Amino acid sequence: MARIVLKFGGTSVGDIERIKNVARRVKREADAGHGVAVVVSAMAGVTNQLVGLVNQISPLHDAREYDAVVATGEQVTVGLLALALQELGVSARSWTGWQIPVVTDNVHGKARIQRIDTAELERRFDDGQVAVVAGFQGVGPDNRITTLGRGGSDTSAVALAAALGAERCDIYTDVDGVYTCDPRIVAKARKLDKITYEEMLEMASLGAKVLQTRSVEMAMNHRVRVQVLSSFADAPGTLVVDEDEIVEKEVVSGIAYSRDEAKITLTKVADRPGVAAAIFGPLADFGVNVDMIVQNVSDDGKSTDLTFTVTRADLDRAIKVLKENRNGLDFKELRPDAGVVKVSVIGVGMRSHAGVALTMFKTLADKGINIQVISTSEIKISVLINEQYLELALRALHTAYGLDAA
């Protein structure tokens, strides 16, 4: 008996009619004779409402109690979906995190799953019973309810699929798959049939909000075949799989972007060992994450310009930290710039193809777009550009890499 995990997000279970719609989809898989586990989120809006109550009582709340309150959202959905399935004649039972149990560490509010005991679920699969599992939650070592952090239901689903050795893990969402680029900006963007874990990871971490980054990492580590598809349309979505499964690899699979970027340039920084540590040490101490870093070759052998990026929310803090921690750190000027965006070309095919970066640089140059910072990884080239060129850059690159829909 093949085991299948299905996951439905908050929008997909947003009201009674949608829950009934989900039940019909689940019934189809159950009728096909599969062992089916369905992971669901809280009904859209419910988690925010619960978080609102917590914050009204206690802005700096105890994370244990926060978890106890917000985990109720998913508990309501699993009960309702189990009932909706029963109404369709499908044997179904709801499961909270502690009932299965989904054992996590005790980092409340962003716990990590350590172990899922699937014995009872598997026994019930054999009796034809569907397991309706509360996403986003688990139980800690001291028997307290834990939650996995926002978007954690994706992680719940993938972890459960891994524990069950599931044939696939279908993540139903409000988009119908992973696109070559954001279709709201690039009209010619195409839905991808398949994408590798590595590419999906780069997409996810760049803000393409289809899947939570942690869930993709987990899928990659456990080789869980994840499918992203729409709960509102009846069409295949995008399969996230191992590289080996993709025969005809595109050189570039997609173009991602992030608006949440700010740039800081320090001019005339002394060009000697220990300077980078003097800059990035204090930033790390104050919780500022630094992304791209570029240091130019020094003109005179004595000083250089250093540029790096942080999220826009961290910009003010980064500036404050740098100004207040100048012992041993010498620079002439601090130039902040919140008007930048990051554009990334992603594809595992890059590994075996030369000239991918060149195409990017040339395409942007042809459009008169200045590249401020460049950063590369094995399967990604990212550039920082002025935000006013974002749409132009995305469309030009999409065409240049032959991604446009016919």
Residues 231-290 that bind its own copies (CB under 8 A): none
- 345 vs 204: CA distance, rounded Å: 13
Q: CA-to-CA distance for 142 and 392, rounded, in angstroms?
A: 53
Selected range binding its own copies among 50-58, 253-261, 311-319, 330-338, rule: CB under 8 A: 50-58
| Residues written for the chain | 406
Q: For the CB of residue 339, give the shortest distance to its own copies in the complex, in Å.
A: 40
Distance CA 71, CA 87 (A): 25
Two structure tokens written together for 290: 């630094």
196 neighbors 251 (Cβ within 8 angstroms): no
Out of 4, 13, 39, 54, the residue judged to bind its own copies by CB under 8 A: 54
- How far apart CA 45 and CA 57 sit, in angstroms, is 19
Considering only 4, 5, 13, 19, the residue that binds its own copies (CB under 8 A) is: 19
197 in Cβ contact with 216 (< 8 Å): yes
Residues 283-322 contacting its own copies, CB under 8 A: none
Of the candidates 404, 338, 396, 337, which has an alpha carbon nearest to the alpha carbon of residue 368?
A: 396
- C-beta closer to its own copies: residue 94 or 382: 94
Shortest distance in whole angstroms from residue 124 CB to its own copies: 12
Helix (H, G, I), strand (E, B) or coil at 397: helix
* Rounded Cα gap, residues 162 and 173, in angstroms: 20
Tokens of 94: 């709801």
Query: Cβ 155 to its own copies, closest distance in Å?
Result: 22
Number of residues that bind its own copies (CB under 8 A): 36
Q: Which of residues 58-117 bind its own copies (CB under 8 A)?
A: 58, 61-62, 64-66, 68-69, 71-72, 75-76, 78-80, 82-84, 86-87, 93-94, 96, 98-99
Task: Name which of 65 and 122 has its Cβ closer to its own copies.
Answer: 65
Q: Provide, rounded to whole angstroms, the least separation between the CB of residue 71 and its own copies.
A: 8
Interacting residue with its own copies among 1, 32, 57, 276 (CB under 8 A):
57
CB 35 within 8 A of CB 122: yes
Nearer to its own copies, 51 or 329 (CB): 51
| 155 membership: H or E segment, kind and range | helix 152-164
Q: Which of 1, 2, 16, 277 binds its own copies (CB under 8 A)?
A: 16
Question: Which residues, numbered 121-150, are part of the site for its own copies (CB under 8 A)?
Answer: 143-145
Strand partners of residue 307? 265, 294
Q: Which is nearer to its own copies, 24 or 326 (CB)?
A: 24
Nearer to its own copies, 72 or 295 (CB): 72
Q: Which is nearer to its own copies, 53 or 276 (CB)?
A: 53
Look-up: residue for tokens 């898989």?
A: 29
Q: Where are the alpha helices (DSSP H) in 227-354?
A: 275-285, 315-324
CB of 53 to its own copies, least distance (A): 6
Which residue's CB is nearer to its own copies, number 57 or number 107?
A: 57
CA distance 339 to 319: 16
Taking alpha carbons only, the member of 120, 129, 156, 155 closest to residue 36 is: 129
Sign, CA dihedral 73-74-75-81, equals positive
- Least spacing, CB of residue 160 vs its own copies, in Å: 18
DSSP 303: E
- The pair phi, psi for residue 144, each rounded to 5°, is -95, 150
Among 11, 20, 312, 367, binds its own copies (CB under 8 A): 20
Q: Which is nearer to its own copies, 48 or 58 (CB)?
A: 58
Residue 329 has phi, psi (to 5 degrees) of -110, 120
Stretch touching its own copies by CB under 8 A, among 29-37, 48-56, 160-168, 353-361: 48-56
Provide the residue type at 316 as one letter: D
Stretch that binds its own copies, among 46-54, 111-119, 260-268, 377-385 (CB under 8 A): 46-54
Taking contact as CB under 8 A, which single stretch among the options 47-55, 186-194, 211-219, 233-241 is the one that binds its own copies? 47-55
Binding site for its own copies (CB under 8 A): 16, 19-20, 50, 53-54, 56-58, 61-62, 64-66, 68-69, 71-72, 75-76, 78-80, 82-84, 86-87, 93-94, 96, 98-99, 143-145
